[in-house]
Structure 1
Amino acid sequence: MLITPAPCPDTKAVPFARHLAAFGDRTALLTHDGEVSYRELAARVADTARRLGDGRRLVLLAGAHTVDALVTYLAALCAGHPVLLVPGDNPGALGSLTAAYDPDVVAAADQQGTWTIHERRAGSAHTLHEDLALLLSTSGSTGSPKLVRLSHDNLQANAGAIAAYLGIRADDRAVTTLPMHYCYGLSVINSHLLSGAGLVLTDLSVADACFWDLFRETRGTSFAGVPYTFDLLDRVGFADMDLPHLRYVTQAGGRLAADRVAHYAALGRRRGWDLFVMYGQTEATARMAYLPPERATSHPHAIGIPVPGGSFRLQPHPDWPEPDTGELVYSGPNVMLGYAEDPADLALGRTLGELHTGDIGRRTPDGLYEVVGRVSRFAKILGLRVDPERVESTLAGHGITAYCAGADDRLVVAVLGGTDATRVRRLVARDCGLPPRSVHVRIMAELPRLPSGKPDYRALREPAPEPPARSVPSPGEPVDATRLCRLYAEILDRADVTEDSSFTSLGGDSLSYVEMSLNLEQLLGPLPPHWHTLPIRDLLRPEEKRSPTGRARRLPGIRTLDASIALRALAIVCVVGSHIPVFHIKGGAHLLLAVAGFNLARFHLTSAGRRDRARHAGRSMLRIAVPTMAWTALMLLVTEDYGLPTLLLFESFLPPRPDHIAPFWFIEVLLFLLIAVVALLSLPAVDRLERRYPFGLPMTLMAAGLLTRYDVLGLREHIHLPSAVVLPWLFALGWAAAKASTARQRLLVTAAALATVPGYFSGEPAREALIMAGFVLLVWVPSLPSAAPLNRVAGVLAGSSLYIYVVHWQVFPRLDHISGWLALIASLVAGVAYATVAARLTRAVPAWRRSRA
């Protein structure tokens, strides 16, 4: 057997790190730069091991999904140097653990992304036990000085056990979905390298379409997920994806609901892959139990059976007197040596022989184990284990009195009034390694207590009323993430905005898009393309766009105007001007209908879950219907122009009357189509179909809409066909335009428009030309060169277009006899004024309700 040469062959080491060369020319790593064979990997590991030297030293390694990080990790294990593995994306954790443990060598990427190995001293400042191989923070406590001490045998045994029960083969390729510093993510690396299998190194999220392109291109066979990962899989339509090489999916890092286990197990059975539900802790290197896939559908509550070489016993617990129930105590070769809380503990050998998990378990009659409770208050948040007591202690060290509890997939922190909630969230997120959106800070007059005086953590877990909306930032305030979060919260009326939020994730729509873009442009200058999909934090630095391989491309920063905003502004001016008339440029309303379909797809058909999509779209429909009906109700009191059908937005569905046009036909058609689309996508099967074929579905609906567009069935001779039944093809074309991601798709949707618009308005070629020209612009020119004043004017008109359309019917008849241009300007000004009043009322009413609550 070929063995990687090591500078200190008599030193204890992890066997699989020394035996890489035995797998020869098999592919070990796949990256955006190419493939690395095991032979090449072994050579690089040997070179780095020689650089680390003969004498054992403590190596602090900033984990990352890069070849350099992996080579350094393997080189240290190969040469017997203990590794302190920290998150590479958390400078705070790296700094605090460097200060606490004074490593001899620090390996990390610098600010330019260059990998460096910094030798802080020639020898070691520590006494290192001969069995010590790896130091890990318990998952979630990434900045804590309390570490888990793992031996060479721990790593080898657990990697072997995992490889055995998963049946990892030489041709398997696992895609990295979890951080290297997280024991679950590291176990994927170890078990595949032990087996001579391949690793696809990437930082892409499963929510990113590029991830699945990479998965298919590299012939991925497995990936790992925590419970939150499966929420993301639901959103991206994983159930209908074509993944021909997928063999199995693993789940750990917290309990996945039993119904979700059963669902994914059944899905895997249908699609030809297995679901492995697993149970583990960092203190057991990674894994202690797994649920055989064939038993997942019948026993979705179970954690399964011990991994090969391990065993459980149930230690009776006074709070759980039921038979065959007690604290799960695990024994096996993967149980840690013990904890380390300071550098002196690195000299310790084994200090415990079995692991008290802190979980209350039950053994079922058929030999499976289930977790039914907890001994302590530890919580699993997004797969990370968090100690609420430690969070309270950390905040106390900053002079903040707080109660902390885990609730679902969030950490709730209650603090007294006068405390800066943003500072608390930042401190907790940084200390626990959680995303800020998972830390919910409650400002309370008094912290909740039980009659005994003890903290009332149950009350803390109860849902809290929404806090008052935050005000718009004042001029002169520094432009930072906090200010942008306040702006998003105000405009979108959301109290849960964090730096990781984006416009689309917060439910932004076409109406708020214009207002938000104008405000952001005033604060930040030119906005990058697709700014509405970017997290707030990324708006504050030069934008980068990632290719499917993970490489970055710089986005242009010239001042431009979004084409959809320009078209909305132009169309509403054309509509009002033609109604007066001061000119005859028709087709604006129909162009707006195509833009509405485009904006529906852009803002609402995102990767969010099915219910979130429906909720966001419903909010947008209310923002269209309520102002229209409110204005109509007011006009019913002062004029005789409108009737009950107009108020109910149903007039265009009635047979037409001579010399009368339903004034709000466009709004009625738009609402009808939005309701129909939301109802259609509320069906799980259609929702999955849309996620799998985002362009194909609207094109199919467009083709179906041509039945009424051309009246193929001859219905016009017998019944009245309202515009809402005739125009869906145009709305669907706009939808498809937003989802066209390739030149071929854009050509197809353009050709469909150019083929179907002509002839719709018999004898009005100019009207049809306006619609086609605007549509081509929407498809092929996402943004237009512009200037700041023009952006502001177009933004105000586009943002107020609905309100201008609603009020202009009552404004221009009172002025057109004086001057048509005066009537046009007055209609636009009145619409903008109504939009301003409506926006203030929209924000004031929820704030008033919250203050009353």
Structure 2
Amino acid sequence: MTHHPEQFPGTAPVSFVRDLAVHGDRTALITAGGELSYRDLAARVSAAARRLGPRRRLVLLAGANTVDSLVAYLAALAGGHPLLLVPGGSPGTLRSMIGAYDPDVVIRPVDGRWPVEERHAAPAHELHPDLALLLSTSGSTGSPKLVRLSHGNLQSNAESIARYLDIRATDRAATTLPLHYCYGLSVVNSHLLSGAGLVLTDLSVADTCFWDLFRDSRATTFAAVPYTFDLLDRVGFAHMRLPHLRYLTQAGGRLAPDRVARYAALGRRDGWDLFVMYGQTEATARMAYLPPELAESRPEAIGVPVPGGSFRLRPLPGLPGDDSAGDTGELVYTGPNVMLGYAETPADLARGRTTRELRTGDIARRAPDGLYEVVGRHSRFAKILGLRIDPQQVEAVLGRHGVDAFCAGSDDGLAVAVTAGTDPGRVRRLVADECGLPPRAVHVRAYPELPRLATGKPDYRAVRALVPAPGGNTAERGGPAERRPSARREPARPADLCALYAEILDRDDVTEDSSFTGLGGDSLSYVEMSVRLEEALGRLPGDWHTRSIRELTAAAPAPRRAGRRRALETGVALRAVAIVLIAGSHIPLFLVQGGAHILLGVAGYNFARFHLTAAARPERVRRLGRSMAYIAVPSVVWITGAVLFADGYDPENILLLNSVVGTHEGRQEWHYWFVESLLYILVLLAAVLAVPALDRAERRFPFGFPLALTALALVTRYNLPGFDLRAPHLTALVVFWLFALGWAAARAGTAGQRLLLTAVVLATVPGLFPAGDGQALRTAVAMTGLTLLIWVRNLPSLGPLNRVAGLLAHSSLYIYLTHFQVYPLLKEHSALLALIASLAVGVAYATVVTHLTRRLPALLRRRGWPAPPPGGKSRESGEIEGSGQPRPLGPGTGTGRPEASTPVAA
């Protein structure tokens, strides 16, 4: 056997440490301060191993994501010294472990240096030759109970992980998890074994500097625990450009299946893989993984055993889920990475292998497709009032109702911790109904943040400790007033915003972690929501619709005094102004045309914001189809009345086919060209997004895709094929490029991209309209509106003006539909009165349509018909999508309130 120069005879080598120098000048470590090659790393490890001395001793290391800490870790392995690895940021844990195990050597940071503290010149304990590493078990940081791992455990698990992840020498992994955590340590081991690079950092994924380092170092992967995905959602990970990202790994606890599927779809869109993994410290890290190609279709599974490992299911009679077929039971793992055993005192360090297989404590089933699924936790079962309760299943049930919770059981009752803003009474009723427990046995308490360990895992001990004893009622009421977030008088309380979201979106599952887009909000509800939120919070951030309620309230400025200046979103302002210009010019009270063409750009802008989410392709197409129906149906109803009771319209107007088969003999036939063009464009885009390759292209190139469509649309903008077009500027073929421009404007993230779109506007809008008086102004109006859409996200405004603009923008589709029949009745008497009446009738029609829309599901159910689907699971946020009924995209549908906008357009 070949030993590392500092390896003690009789101890097994860890090959990936011994072979560091084999990788030569390849980059091993990347930090904010520079890079270190494998050759230099090997030299530093060898020097550090020599400093540990000639006798094999127990070394305690304060783990940290630094070069010095990593070198000390590798040096101990290289020299064969058993290493006790503890959290470097926990002085209490350091003191506890030093007191419990009396290590011979302690390495921890002192004034920026990492000295080797000699506590015993000779080993104070007998150390088994196979012992390489001691780690705390999950959830037991600071406890004297440790997992004993061998050199062979570390080597075999690193090899197994490197194999199924296909880690390459060109990969570079960012250290998003601490070194003392077995998952974070496995990332280090597997990448060093493969000659890959490590981007060594302790920055959080919530830190902008982390992503700067990630891009600059051309990192290809990072590891995530479930809580990491909360942070990724908050920082807008779905919209980041990470050109070198190759795969993302997840472990450290169960990730909700809908979120697994959503991130797998996101990876498919952007060209990277998601590996969902399952493991425990007792297995050195990993026991199973889900092949990434199955993550979308089987997100609830943990997958298959890692290479070299195997599972069996130990029968557990009497437990829920047990069946005679033998495909459900406690999951038991066997493999070369199974620990030697536990240590609870220094005397245990002399023991050899005491564990041959690992009983995980998880209840699992083997599905017909061969994948394993964890369905419960044996060790977490509680017997409450004679009933066996699985807290993990309770968490899953609450998750399906939109409640994020940690549950823990005891003999006295079931403890449920939820986030602030959640109704404890509702949670208690849900749990009691699901478990068959009396409500008095379910203790619910809300906290600003769910209790977690340093690793991000749930802190179930804290859940048990913090929930009051049975018989108390403070938990059910939400705790003492001084501990309830809602007890303080604040400018905007999360509970108030939850109620506002529930009202406007017609939802009963709103929580503080809900976002507007995650709840299925679209342009129909966008206007009212933005106006009402702006009143409650003050100035809104540009991406408010993707932020959670919790984030919005946390970032809200102090309340404004009445009459002080507010902001109005440019899209909302353009819709309000455009519909007034359209109606006023048709009367004519004035002649300022171009508003309808601005609305087409706004329609494309809203389409990108509310329909091109991270939802799966079929769900995208379904939502778009529902939105088209909610534009077409009210339009057809009104136009049918116009054909029957007014002059100048033909049956093809009812079918929205005038621009295709109409006789084109009268001006009135073209009144509804905007609705026709909008629907034709949406039908085309639904067909485009239904094609998997094009759907993937749009997700991967969010700006380039609409820019390419804009370029293609210029072919018909200039009618290069030579179609016989009676009114080119009113035809979908010609004006589609405006919709694509608005789409691209929503995706433009840099000044260069906005400059490019501005150049396109300046070059292509002139010449669109037929020559004649007022067409120069029409061109200028359209160019100004589109340029504002590209560059300006908010305009200065006042509260009352916001409410009026919101009302008009929300109702803009209906004003457009109805004003053609309203203003002729009054224009000869008063053009201004005709305009006011046109706006009022459109608002009234919007109110009627929205009222019927909201009542439709209940009416259908009463008549025994299937109600319209409320929407599926949002693949963007993991929350329920849709608002109870489909909502349009365009120029405006609504309630009589300044609700939300148009189907797509307005």
Same fold (TM over 0.5): yes
Matches within 5 A, 1:290-369: 307=307, 329-336=332-339, 338=341, 352-357=355-360
Q: Secondary structure at the match of 2:433?
A: coil
TM-score (norm 2): 0.64
Q: Secondary structure at the match of 1:582?
A: coil
Residues 738-762 of structure 1, C-alpha deviations (whole Å, 9 max, x = no match): 2233333323322222222222212
What is the deviation of 1:525?
0.7
Point out the more displaced range, 805-814 or 38-47: 38-47
Report whether the alignment pairs 1:773 with 2:758. Answer: no
Inter-partner Cα distance in structure 2 for 1:607 and 1:294: 17
What is the deviation of 1:730?
1.9
Report whether the alignment pairs 1:812 with 2:798. Answer: no
Residue aligning to 2:282: 283
Q: Secondary structure at the match of 2:396?
A: strand
Inter-partner Cα distance in structure 2 for 1:509 and 1:846: 19
Residue aligning to 2:532: 519
Report whether the alignment pairs 1:669 with 2:677. Answer: yes
Residues 85-124 of structure 1, C-alpha deviations (whole Å, 9 max, x = no match): 69x9xxxxx999999999999xxxxxxxxx999xxxx99x
Residues 439-459 of structure 1, C-alpha deviations (whole Å, 9 max, x = no match): 996955973689xxxxxxxxx
Residue aligning to 1:550: none
Residue aligning to 1:603: 610
Residues 172-206 of structure 1, C-alpha deviations (whole Å, 9 max, x = no match): 42245778787444411232245653223579999
1:572 aligns with one of 571, 575, 579: 579
Inter-partner Cα distance in structure 1 for 2:676 and 2:510: 33
Residue aligning to 1:112: none
Residues 7-58 of structure 1, C-alpha deviations (whole Å, 9 max, x = no match): xxx99999989998998976444356654667689989999x999xx99899
Q: Secondary structure at the match of 1:352?
A: coil
1:746 aligns with one of 741, 754, 766: 754
Report whether the alignment pairs 1:798 with 2:805. Answer: no
Inter-partner Cα distance in structure 1 for 2:356 and 2:420: 35
**Number of aligned residue pairs:** 753
Report whether the alignment pairs 1:389 with 2:381. Answer: yes
1:737 aligns with one of 731, 739, 745: 745
Inter-partner Cα distance in structure 1 for 2:418 and 2:172: 28
Matches within 5 A, 1:518-667: 518-542=531-555, 559-632=566-639, 644-653=651-660, 654-667=662-675
Q: Secondary structure at the match of 1:149?
A: strand
**8 Å contact from structure 1 (residues 565, 794) kept in 2:** yes
Residue aligning to 1:382: none
CA RMSD of aligned residues (A): 6.6
Point out the more displaced range, 151-160 or 506-515: 151-160
In structure 2, what residue type is equivalent to 1:681? L
Inter-partner Cα distance in structure 2 for 1:679 and 1:190: 47
**8 Å contact from structure 2 (residues 581, 595) kept in 1:** yes
Residues 762-795 of structure 1, C-alpha deviations (whole Å, 9 max, x = no match): 2222111111121122112233333434333323
In structure 2, what residue type is equivalent to 1:355? L
Residue aligning to 1:191: 190
**8 Å contact from structure 1 (residues 594, 733) kept in 2:** yes
Residues 216-238 of structure 1, C-alpha deviations (whole Å, 9 max, x = no match): 753445566899999x99xx999
Residue aligning to 1:151: 149
In structure 1, what residue type is equivalent to 2:499? R
**8 Å contact from structure 1 (residues 581, 820) kept in 2:** yes
Residue aligning to 1:758: 766
What is the deviation of 1:612?
3.1
Inter-partner Cα distance in structure 2 for 1:522 and 1:363: 52
What is the deviation of 1:816?
1.9
Inter-partner Cα distance in structure 2 for 1:40 and 1:801: 66
Inter-partner Cα distance in structure 2 for 1:786 and 1:351: 73
What is the deviation of 1:726?
2.7
Inter-partner Cα distance in structure 2 for 1:237 and 1:13: 41
What is the deviation of 1:282?
3.7
Inter-partner Cα distance in structure 2 for 1:201 and 1:446: 47
Inter-partner Cα distance in structure 2 for 1:143 and 1:839: 56
Q: Secondary structure at the match of 2:397?
A: strand
Q: Secondary structure at the match of 1:353?
A: coil
The verdict on how the C-alpha distance between 1:388 and 1:413 changes in structure 2, with shifts beyond 3 A counting, is: farther
Residue aligning to 2:515: 502
Report whether the alignment pairs 1:484 with 2:497. Answer: yes
Residues 522-567 of structure 1, C-alpha deviations (whole Å, 9 max, x = no match): 11111112222223322123399xxxxxxxxxxxx99533222221
2:842 aligns with one of 818, 831, 834: 831
What is the deviation of 1:497?
3.8
Point out the more displaced range, 690-699 or 216-225: 216-225
Report whether the alignment pairs 1:699 with 2:697. Answer: no
Q: Secondary structure at the match of 2:540?
A: coil
What is the deviation of 1:284?
0.9
Residue aligning to 1:30: 30
The verdict on how the C-alpha distance between 1:597 and 1:719 changes in structure 2, with shifts beyond 3 A counting, is: closer
Inter-partner Cα distance in structure 2 for 1:798 and 1:729: 23
What is the deviation of 1:732?
1.6
Residue aligning to 1:687: 695
Inter-partner Cα distance in structure 2 for 1:403 and 1:702: 55
In structure 1, what residue type is equivalent to 2:622? R
Residues 606-635 of structure 1, C-alpha deviations (whole Å, 9 max, x = no match): 333223322333343344334434544666
Inter-partner Cα distance in structure 2 for 1:135 and 1:749: 56
**8 Å contact from structure 2 (residues 59, 83) kept in 1:** yes
Inter-partner Cα distance in structure 1 for 2:42 and 2:519: 44
Residue aligning to 2:472: none
Q: Which runs of 5+ in 2 are unaligned?
A: 102-110, 437-485, 558-563, 868-906
Residue aligning to 2:904: none
**8 Å contact from structure 2 (residues 27, 37) kept in 1:** yes
Inter-partner Cα distance in structure 2 for 1:373 and 1:622: 40
The verdict on how the C-alpha distance between 1:748 and 1:486 changes in structure 2, with shifts beyond 3 A counting, is: same
What is the deviation of 1:137?
5.3
What is the deviation of 1:728?
1.3
What is the deviation of 1:801?
1.7
What's the % identity of the aligned pairs? 48
What is the deviation of 1:168?
5.4
Higher RCO (CA-CA < 8 Å; seq separation 6+): 2
In structure 2, what residue type is equivalent to 1:151? L
**8 Å contact from structure 2 (residues 100, 345) kept in 1:** no
The verdict on how the C-alpha distance between 1:673 and 1:293 changes in structure 2, with shifts beyond 3 A counting, is: closer
**8 Å contact from structure 2 (residues 758, 787) kept in 1:** yes
Inter-partner Cα distance in structure 2 for 1:815 and 1:363: 71
In structure 2, what residue type is equivalent to 1:30? I
Residues 477-524 of structure 1, C-alpha deviations (whole Å, 9 max, x = no match): 973334333333332334444434332333322232211111111111
Q: Which runs of 5+ in 1 are unaligned?
A: 89-93, 106-114, 380-386, 451-472, 545-556
Report whether the alignment pairs 1:218 with 2:217. Answer: yes
Q: Secondary structure at the match of 1:786?
A: strand
**8 Å contact from structure 1 (residues 315, 329) kept in 2:** yes
TM-score (norm 1): 0.67
Point out the more displaced range, 330-339 or 37-46: 37-46
What is the deviation of 1:680?
1.0
In structure 2, what residue type is equivalent to 1:412? V
**8 Å contact from structure 2 (residues 172, 198) kept in 1:** yes
Inter-partner Cα distance in structure 2 for 1:313 and 1:401: 24
**8 Å contact from structure 2 (residues 136, 143) kept in 1:** no
**8 Å contact from structure 1 (residues 589, 666) kept in 2:** yes
The verdict on how the C-alpha distance between 1:188 and 1:589 changes in structure 2, with shifts beyond 3 A counting, is: same
Inter-partner Cα distance in structure 1 for 2:173 and 2:552: 33
Residue aligning to 1:109: none
Inter-partner Cα distance in structure 1 for 2:838 and 2:327: 77
1:727 aligns with one of 735, 755, 763: 735
**8 Å contact from structure 2 (residues 402, 510) kept in 1:** no
**8 Å contact from structure 2 (residues 84, 135) kept in 1:** yes
In structure 1, what residue type is equivalent to 2:674? F
